[in-house]
Structure 1
Amino acid sequence: MTDPVSVSVKRLPHGEGLALPAYATPGSAGMDVLSAEDVTIAPGARYAVATGLALAIPAGYEIQVRPRSGLALKHGITVPNTPGTIDSDYRGELKVILINHGTEPFAIARGDRVAQLVLAPVVQARWSEVTELDATGRGAGGFGSTGGHARLG
């Protein structure tokens, strides 16, 4: 296991009294983040849920915002831009964009766990334009070219 990376967090006024994002178990990859507001999301609607937190993520890292599997399976609540990315130079409030794919309105109470946050290293690319790419066995074969789900059985 690597040493934890320090991430500075500023609690905003509407985040007072809420727990900071935390790992549920020692083996958890994601930290549960809580809602700082009460809101109901209608079926088919999207909403940016306030967390009451602002972050200073170290350079060379991002925080990925991911859905909670239980909310997705049981209620159809997910993060539409999964994974969402919080860049290291962003200093505004962390908000979690949720969408309700379910058939019923979904109520979120202040303090409810709404998503997971995963701290991840970032490697930036440098483009090298060429006239030809190296050949591979797959070549330009794309969507479904390696076999459908029936072949995976």
Structure 2
Amino acid sequence: MMKRGFEIVSRYQDQGLSLPYRTTQQAAGYDFECAEDFTLPSIWRHDLLHAFKRLWQKTPLTTAELAAGQHDLKPWLVPTGIKAYMEPGEVLILANRSSNPLKHNLILPNGVGVIDADYYNNEKNEGEIFVQLVNVGLSDVVIKQGQRIAQGIFMPYYLADDEQAPQQERQGGFGSSDRK
């Protein structure tokens, strides 16, 4: 009888990954580690700086310049190699570690990540949890395999009284329920 917990996804089974863990007796969050060495580029790249210069000069950006500058600001999906299972009516909330902005200049651009129960074992990516990160530092950051990058907290959630229950079932992985 599985209630809630973590498993390693198939592609990382033999990579020596650790399941998320709490580091102190009163910790609410389970620490997630990076599944592989990962270089997170700084947002302060040539295209973004070029766009800032043009904006500062009050010169309109071309569509290509705008797209290139926006690309430098895009978050990266850092793999954990972990999937989470939980009961209906529960959610796993991913939060940044407090040391990430202070020590590594890493932020979660969406504030928190929401991992729904039906994300587990989805067909697209087996339910692997990725952490969205942005590097606001001036240089690239190398995240080493096993480095703690986020924390997850299991929580119950409540439904509105007169909700019309959705009929849609999850069809994919990360961001699959975004409306087009």
Give the TM-score taking structure 2 as reference length.
Answer: 0.63
Corresponding residue for 2:135?
Answer: 100
Code of the residue aligned with 1:33 in structure 2: it is F
SS at match of 2:150: strand
Matched, 1:124 2:123: no
Tell me the alpha carbon deviations over residues 93-130 of structure 1, each in whole angstroms, 9 at most, x when there is no partner. 111111111112111111111101011111122459xx
**After TM superposition, where is structure 1 displaced by more than 6 Å over at least 4 residues in a row?**
none
SS at match of 1:117: strand
Give the aligned CA root-mean-square deviation in angstroms. Answer: 1.9
Residues in 2 aligned to 1:73 and 1:109: alpha-carbon distance in whole angstroms: 17
Corresponding residue for 2:63?
Answer: none
Tell me the alpha carbon deviations over residues 6-26 of structure 1, each in whole angstroms, 9 at most, x when there is no partner. 314331232531111001101
Residues in 2 aligned to 1:122 and 1:30: alpha-carbon distance in whole angstroms: 17
Give the TM-score taking structure 1 as reference length.
Answer: 0.74
Uncovered stretches (5+) of structure 2, i.e. residues with no partner = 44-72, 121-126, 164-180
Matches within 5 A, 1:71-86: 71-86=100-115
Uncovered stretches (5+) of structure 1, i.e. residues with no partner = 129-153
Equivalenced residues, count: 124
Identity %: 33
Residues in 1 aligned to 2:5 and 2:26: alpha-carbon distance in whole angstroms: 22
Q: Report the CA distance between 1:32 and its aligned residue.
A: 0.6
Q: Report the CA distance between 1:43 and its aligned residue.
A: 1.2
Corresponding residue for 2:41?
Answer: 42
Residues in 2 aligned to 1:26 and 1:6: alpha-carbon distance in whole angstroms: 20
Corresponding residue for 1:147?
Answer: none
Matched, 1:68 2:97: yes
Corresponding residue for 1:141?
Answer: none
Matched, 1:90 2:119: yes
